[in-house]
A and B are shown apart, each in its own frame.
Chain A
Amino acid sequence: AQKITQTQPGMFVQEKEAVTLDCTYDTSDPSYGLFWYKQPSSGEMIFLIYQGSYDQQNATEGRYSLNFQKARKSANLVISASQLGDSAMYFCAMRERGSGGYNKLIFGAGTRLAVHP
């Protein structure tokens, strides 16, 4: 079964508008973390934001915020005031405890965001 689901293979948004990228997850571990990464066409993986499962408040980093709804097991990324440079692939990932008790990241399939002028 998929542990991280990103249901939107592609999204587009008008420049300066806000956009929400969806992510749902599945875990029985009470302690976990959720990450979002951006991968532009140049290929590097850029860390955007992190939310811990025990964090009471939604994480924010500049124009990025994570809408964490624990009961619904969702961790959507909200990008406010989109810019042309936001066009990229976006990956949601969950920190999961692997065998031996060590952490690893499980990634979703990604959402390709296109920002139109």
Chain B
Amino acid sequence: DTAVSQTPKYLVTQMGNDKSIKCEQNLGHDTMYWYKQDSKKFLKIMFSYNNKELIINETVPNRFSPKSPDKAHLNLHINSLELGDSAVYFCASGHTDTQYFGPGTRLTVL
């Protein structure tokens, strides 16, 4: 009965590869998010979707492409991975007064 789930938990890959991270929520929220946490633990929003529609895109390189097949799912696809993409990526969903986070995906680009 996990509220927000992400797969995979760990992702190790070579520079230049393409990878995807999947996210699902069973909380019935209309809005989902992707955040990036860098090596200094700083968290920054990347994208937000409301009812399958992109509503926030925080100047993220266009190698990152989110996709929301339905309002319970928000996936993140990353093309041509670079060393600087190494980070923990969190999916979240929520309302005005709460946001629940998934367990995070630690991406390591070698």
Residues of A within 8 A of B104 (CB): 43-45
Number of A-B contacts (CB under 8 A): 59
Determine whether the beta carbon of A104 is less than 8 Å from that of B33.
yes
Give the secondary structure class of A's interface. Answer: strand
Give the secondary structure class of B's interface. Answer: strand
Determine whether the beta carbon of A91 is less than 8 Å from that of B43.
yes
Determine whether the beta carbon of B55 is less than 8 Å from that of A100.
yes
30 contacts between A and B (CB under 8 A): A33-B97, A39-B41, A43-B103, A43-B104, A43-B106, A44-B101, A45-B92, A47-B98, A47-B101, A50-B98, A91-B43, A93-B43, A95-B96, A98-B48, A98-B56, A100-B56, A102-B31, A102-B48, A102-B56, A103-B31, A104-B48, A104-B58, A105-B33, A105-B45, A105-B99, A106-B45, A107-B44, A109-B40, A109-B42, A110-B42
Q: Which residues of A contact B (CB under 8 A)?
A: 33, 35, 37, 39, 43-47, 50, 52, 89, 91, 93, 95, 98-100, 102-107, 109-110
